[in-house]
A = this chain, B = another copy of it.
Amino acid sequence: MTKIANACDGMMSRRCMLQSAGRLAVGTVAVAALPGTGLVPSARAADTRQPWPYKKLDPAEVGEITYNQWYSGLCMNAVLTGLFTPLRKSVGEPYTSFPIESFVWGHGGVVGWGTMCGTLLGASTATNLICGPGVAKDGEQIVNEVIHYYAGTQLPTFKPKSAKIAAQIPMSQSDSPLCHISVGKWMKRTNHGFFSAERKDRCARLTANVAMETARRLNEWSDGKFKAEHKLPAMVYNVTAQHNCSECHGSSVPDVITTGNPPPRKT
C-alpha cells in the first residue's frame, strides 16, 4: 500500500530533518515526510497528481465568493468554492472536476456535532490538494497557521459588498477551533440564537475570513515565502490537543503520559 508520511511512527531521517529545517522558522519542529514515499501510484488518473497546479488568488475575490456561497453550501463547501472557483477559471483541471458539492458535511463541526469548524475542514481539503499531502508538510503547516488565526483573532472582520442582512455583526474570539465553542461564545456575547439571521451571517462572514487567510497563506507559499510559525500540537503536548487546556480542565490539567518515542525534534 502507498506509504504516506507519518510523524507518529518515530522515524525520520537526518536528510528529512535537514530538508525541513531549511523551510521552517527558527524554533519550529522539523517533522517531515519520509523520503521516497511515492505518494501517487502511477495507475492514477493524471488529474489526481499532487501537488495541483496553483495560480495566486485574489483574497478579496475569494472572500466575496465564499460569503455568498455560505448561504447555499455552508462553511466547508463555501471555503472550497471560494478557493476553487477562481482556480477553475485560471487553471481548469483538476479543480474543475473535483466534487466540491460533496463537501458540505463539515457544517456545524461535522453534521452538527460542534467539533472542528467546517471552515477549517474546507481549508484542510484545499491546501492538501494544492500543496500535496503528508504529515507536517506544507499543506498541513498552512492549515495549522490558519487554525491559529481562527482561534486567536476577533472575527468576523469581513465586510461583504452586498450583505445579506442589514444588522451589525459583532466580533468574538474563540480561543478554540471547535464550532461549539466558537459559535457558543458568539451567541453568549450577542444574545442571538443558533437559528437567527445574525448567527448565520456571522458564520458566513467568518467563513469568508478563513478562506481569505487560506488564500493569503497559499499565495505566500506560491512565492516561496511561507514560514510555519507554530508547531503541530501533538509535538508540543505529547497528545493531540488545542492550546487552551484550562478552558475545559480548569486548574487540574492532567499530566500527560510520555511512554513511547516521539519523532526527533529540532529545538
Contact = CB atoms under 8 A, between A and B. Distances in A.
A54 interface: no
Most B-side CB within 10 Å, residue of A102, A128, A180, A238:
A102
Contacts of A121: 110, 121
Interface stretch (A5-13, A155-163, A210-218): A5-13
A74 B8 contact: yes
A184 to B, nearest CB: 6
Contacts of A99: 40, 44, 48, 50, 129
A128 to B, nearest CB: 5
Given A1-B81, A188-B254, 8 more contacts: A9-B200, A101-B133, A102-B128, A102-B139, A109-B115, A111-B143, A113-B116, A114-B240
27 contacts: A2-B101, A3-B72, A8-B74, A8-B108, A8-B200, A10-B195, A50-B101, A104-B128, A104-B135, A105-B128, A106-B124, A107-B135, A109-B116, A111-B144, A112-B234, A114-B242, A183-B239, A184-B239, A187-B256, A191-B257, A193-B257, A194-B257, A195-B238, A195-B259, A195-B262, A195-B263, A196-B259
